[in-house]
Structure 1
Amino acid sequence: MNAQANPLIKLKQKIAAFWNEINPDIAALGLLLLGLARRLSGLGERPLWFDETISAVYARQDISTLFALNNGDNHPFGYYLTLKFWIDLFGYSDATIRLLSVVPGVGAIWLVWLIGRRLFPEQSSITLSATAIMALNPFQIYFSQEARNYSFMQFWVLLAIWFWLRGLENSRWLDWLGLGSVSALAIIYNFTGAFYLAALYLYPLFRARLYWEKGILLRMWGAGAGAGVVAGFALFPKLTSRLDAIKNNFWIPEPEPLIILRTFFTFIFGAAPADLFILAFALAFVLLAITLVMAIPAWWRERRDSGLARTLWLLFAPLGLVILVSLAFQSLYLDKALIACSPFYYLLLGWAIFKPGTQKWGGAILVGIPLVIALLWSSLYLPDIYNGKLQPLYIARYNVNQINTYLAQQPAEAVVTATDIAWLPLVYYGAQALPPKYSLSDYPTPNIFPLLVEKLHSETIASADVGKRFKRFWVLFELYQGDNPLAEPRPLPIGLDIPWAHSKDWQVSLMADFDRKYTRVQAVELDRVLLVLYQQ
């Protein structure tokens, strides 16, 4: 069947003609504004969770205290310092705190457009597709709102890649200076930035002779060395003091094949309801498989320094380096830490749909239709992501204000949290509310440290001392309640198989110990927390 008679080919041609009739820069600007609107929605609908509360507490201190607190943190100081200046100017409501992350999140949309135009200069439809995915998908929207450093890391990494691409083309010192400066910032905001930057500095080795003759290797590595010196000087004290802590206190699982595949689900969906997760995962897997089946043979046939080759490298090289370090040293593999890989997956999807140099319709149908379905489907969950009912993996979020209100209405002398992840938001939002909240000092994998407890005017307590100080007290345990957290307290039947969220062995043994020593007065589930009232 020829191209004139095939309706699928005609459809692809019409879509391509539609894209070509639009001014690409105007279309990209429209997507930027749409992405901004989505990121401004729901900023204050959900309370800060543990990691965001860390950010808020640090930023509300004076600079010397901020650095002292950061010495006990696994992240560098760049984001915290920026957030401090931000809230000093604009205030510290939840929405204002999150608004800071929106700025680099929106900037990253435009950088994807600029980078895509350099990788695929003759195919604006590829780059527009990637820009649209970047603007609209829940994964990018969520982390453009979260009061953490991932939005900034992605922005700095993408800006470094833009300078890198310009440097490979022109080898001007201004581009290499930009690359070095932005590289240092990427690391100062998030250590994971080093993996992306390593991929940039390794890529020219595949054509080392050519790049050496052009003077690119020497200039680029000089920029990298300068970035390393600046970042190392700024972060050396922290690195030397935290390596052992990172080695001994990280809960992140090793990157097994299913975990790696799940990353590509996360890049598109961000999250999905538990009862539909398998279906969403399968759709994401189909998208990945078809795209790679198309892209890898095309790259192998070319085997040259093309936009496709660079896109594949920028997607998989940082991911591979994280996997290697995770297996050799300590697992660092988190979907959200790989956020700066995701734009190159979006570009790869755009390439598969609008594959250049061919009139075949396969990519437009096999990739385009599942992608549109996935984006429309995932957009249905945005309201629940905004309000916290649905959340990405490894986000321990619950309605802390609702829990504090409930506890304040119950007669008890104290509240003790089985995990410090539960303790910190309760204290941050209810510092003056009774009863007072305590974190257990014998929690085996602590995420807090004495100075942080002191700055929140709280204290820790050993589990063995709880009964010595209080006759009637609450103990809070963290639960996994899926994507339908309880809005009202519900009694917990004794003997129920409890879905523990964190530190299962610790929480199980703690509950058994308290049940043995004290009388359980009541036990209720509320949102994603189990509240148990004990008395002597």
Structure 2
Amino acid sequence: MKTAAPTRPQTGGSRASEGLTARAGRLPARFDPLWAVLLTFAVTCTRIGTAQPWRDELASWRAADRSTGELVDMLQNVDAVSGAYYLLLQAWISVFGDSPAMLRMPSALAMAGAAGFVVLTARRLFDRRTAVFAGVLFALAPAVSKYGQEARSYALVVLAATAATWLLLRALERPTVLRWLPYAVAVTASGLFHMISLLFLVPHGVIVLGRWWGTRFWRLPVSYAVTVVAALLPLTPLVLLGQRQVARQLGWVPVPHLRDLGGLWVGLIASPLVSLALFAAAALPLAWPRGRRQAVELGLVAVVPIPLAWIVSQGSSSYFIDRYLLFTLPAWVILAAAGLGALRPRRIGVAGLVLLVALGAADQRQLRTEHAKGGTDGKRVAAVIAEQYKPGDGLVMGSSRVYMVDLMVEYYLPERAKLKDVFAERSAVANDDLFPVECSRPVQCLEGTRRVWVVTSSGTQNPYNQLPPDREKALKDHYKPVATTVVGDLQVTLVERAH
């Protein structure tokens, strides 16, 4: 006898939903994902190009600015796990340019797309009122603006992971090949953009087992297992290559302690006040009998990846960074929306929604300031250099290359100003890396360069502050300072050959 496929539970929230919808403008339910997409896109695009790029964004720019062949060569040595994003960004900037706004636009578009799946998931698990609340909360969450305005892959991971959750719920209703196939695509995409996001497969598997336990519909776990294997197979080469690079890429991340769980939560939401309120609201559905099972399922998606990442990070490599777990945010938002939507009288839920949004207002403003991503003012440093630039000028940075201040200056320099990296023996492109090969003989590397711009930390009279002793000596012996300009935490010194 053929067993019927499991169906979605009826939540019975139509009356509350219709009342909320009437007040929201009587839009048909099918438009809910669309307005959430448009609202999120409008919010993330607001002053998207204001903040100066920080080092991770500059790494994205430097990688994507290469030819495809040069980029592929680089990925053999470093950042293979970011390769899919770099290739996408490379194609994007070839059409739209590399201004700060355009570098970040793929992330804004991805967050907007994720908003649509947030609404669809909330409506499938709960009701339309929850979906409306979730759309608003997601669009106005500080973390959505923060990473929707960042030239990194995190927003695309949020999109892929949120789509995967909705596609799973859809496949559980009728587990056919045509429904499992898009789920597999979403899983593969999530892994391509950030491997740690695949932790969501664990709670997804638990949800599948829970549905199977209630129906004994064996086709369900078997289909899920086959789909996951098929989705992970294309990622195998990337996993093997990434494992060879993991020590270099994540060696700086410390092994987390238990206390780091609290700090991660605040960073995940990108607002201390909103994080507390959102957590409180997200716990409410557990006390709501009509939505308790749905809340538990979604709670698994929200909660389980966090301790899993903590446990995995106790090994040789740590992955416990808030932005790496950003893909759990949509589930937290939907849980909070369900909690607020269940409050009675209804105006209490609306008041809670308004309060949550208002708590993040100050963080939203701060995220859109020029130095939101760091205090270094590379734009002004570049302006100082460009004003007195002469062809053949060289550049020396006092800080470590990992801070990418040199790239920040280069990013803002006009096309006519091409500075020679005098202490780079071989360029980053020639080295198939993000960083060049450092000069081992400073005096010889300075030959042929009449003027050098030295950029070091401010607050000292030494224009060669932070430079290695051999480089400082080479500059002191052969150059004399001509002019120094202090730019925030940096000082820019022009030195010329003494003889």
- Fold agreement, TM-score > 0.5: yes
Per-residue deviation, residues 408-445 of structure 1 (Å, max 9, x unmatched) = 5579854234221222333444486365335679xxxx
* Alignment partner, residue 89 of structure 2: 83
Structure 2 CA distance for partners of 1:390 and 1:87, relative to 1, 3 Å: closer
Aligned partner (choices 189, 203, 207) of residue 203 of structure 1: 207
2:24 aligned with 1:39: no
Aligned partner (choices 44, 48, 55) of residue 50 of structure 1: 55
Aligned partner (choices 304, 307, 312) of residue 294 of structure 2: 307
* Letter paired with 1:332: Y
Shift in Å at residue 164 of structure 1?
A: 0.5
* Alignment partner, residue 400 of structure 2: 419
Asked whether the 8 Å contact 2:39–2:139 carries over to 1, the reply is yes
Equivalenced residue count is: 466
2:433 aligned with 1:452: no
* Alignment partner, residue 30 of structure 1: 35
Asked whether the 8 Å contact 1:185–1:231 carries over to 2, the reply is no
State the TM-score, normalizing by the size of structure 2.
0.78
* Alignment partner, residue 337 of structure 1: 324
Per-residue deviation, residues 388-416 of structure 1 (Å, max 9, x unmatched) = 3223xxxx574423212323557985423
* Alignment partner, residue 318 of structure 1: 305
Asked whether the 8 Å contact 2:423–2:445 carries over to 1, the reply is no
Structure 2 CA distance for partners of 1:528 and 1:184, relative to 1, 3 Å: farther
Asked whether the 8 Å contact 2:44–2:145 carries over to 1, the reply is yes
* Alignment partner, residue 133 of structure 2: 129
Asked whether the 8 Å contact 1:492–1:524 carries over to 2, the reply is no
Aligned partner (choices 110, 118, 127) of residue 104 of structure 1: 110
The answer to which of 45-54 and 71-80 deviates more is: 45-54
Shift in Å at residue 456 of structure 1?
A: 10
* Alignment partner, residue 176 of structure 2: 172
* Letter paired with 1:437: D
Asked whether the 8 Å contact 1:315–1:341 carries over to 2, the reply is yes
Shift in Å at residue 533 of structure 1?
A: 7.0
Asked whether the 8 Å contact 1:53–1:424 carries over to 2, the reply is yes
2: distance between equivalents of 1:170 and 1:509? 63
Q: Comparing both chains, which one has the higher relative contact order based on Cα–Cα distances under 8 Å and sequence gaps of 6 or more?
A: 2
2:158 aligned with 1:154: yes
2:462 aligned with 1:492: no
Aligned partner (choices 448, 465, 474) of residue 442 of structure 2: 465
SS of structure 1 residue aligned to 2:360: helix
SS of structure 2 residue aligned to 1:415: strand
Aligned partner (choices 359, 377, 382) of residue 404 of structure 1: 382
Asked whether the 8 Å contact 1:417–1:423 carries over to 2, the reply is no
* Alignment partner, residue 123 of structure 2: 117
1: distance between equivalents of 2:32 and 2:242? 44
SS of structure 2 residue aligned to 1:404: helix
The answer to which of 102-111 and 193-202 deviates more is: 193-202
Shift in Å at residue 237 of structure 1?
A: 5.0
2:248 aligned with 1:245: yes
Aligned partner (choices 362, 383, 390) of residue 377 of structure 1: 362
Shift in Å at residue 111 of structure 1?
A: 1.0
Shift in Å at residue 308 of structure 1?
A: 0.7
Shift in Å at residue 529 of structure 1?
A: 3.5
Alignment RMSD (CA, Å): 4.0
* Letter paired with 2:407: L
SS of structure 2 residue aligned to 1:192: helix
Asked whether the 8 Å contact 2:282–2:336 carries over to 1, the reply is no
Shift in Å at residue 67 of structure 1?
A: 1.2
Asked whether the 8 Å contact 1:264–1:288 carries over to 2, the reply is no
Per-residue deviation, residues 453-497 of structure 1 (Å, max 9, x unmatched) = 65899954348736983798555456xxxxxxxxxxxx62569xx
Shift in Å at residue 219 of structure 1?
A: 0.1
Aligned partner (choices 430, 433, 440) of residue 417 of structure 2: 433
* Letter paired with 1:198: V
Shift in Å at residue 153 of structure 1?
A: 1.2
The answer to which of 340-349 and 408-417 deviates more is: 408-417
Shift in Å at residue 261 of structure 1?
A: 2.8
1: distance between equivalents of 2:340 and 2:366? 25
Asked whether the 8 Å contact 1:414–1:437 carries over to 2, the reply is yes
State the TM-score, normalizing by the size of structure 1.
0.73
Identity among equivalent positions (%) equals: 19
Structure 2 CA distance for partners of 1:398 and 1:211, relative to 1, 3 Å: farther
* Letter paired with 2:397: V
1: distance between equivalents of 2:456 and 2:261? 30
Structure 2 CA distance for partners of 1:63 and 1:514, relative to 1, 3 Å: closer
Structure 2 CA distance for partners of 1:379 and 1:245, relative to 1, 3 Å: closer
1: distance between equivalents of 2:361 and 2:43? 14
Structure 2 CA distance for partners of 1:219 and 1:264, relative to 1, 3 Å: same
Asked whether the 8 Å contact 2:130–2:338 carries over to 1, the reply is yes
Structure 2 CA distance for partners of 1:220 and 1:39, relative to 1, 3 Å: same
Q: How does 1:381-400 map to 2 (within 5 A)?
A: 381-384=366-369, 388-391=370-373, 398-400=376-378
Shift in Å at residue 191 of structure 1?
A: 1.4
Asked whether the 8 Å contact 1:423–1:439 carries over to 2, the reply is no
Q: Gapped runs of 5+ residues in structure 1?
A: 1-12, 271-279, 442-448, 479-490, 496-506
Q: Gapped runs of 5+ residues in structure 2?
A: 1-14
Shift in Å at residue 245 of structure 1?
A: 3.0
2: distance between equivalents of 1:20 and 1:267? 34
2:49 aligned with 1:72: no
Asked whether the 8 Å contact 2:114–2:159 carries over to 1, the reply is yes
2:280 aligned with 1:290: yes
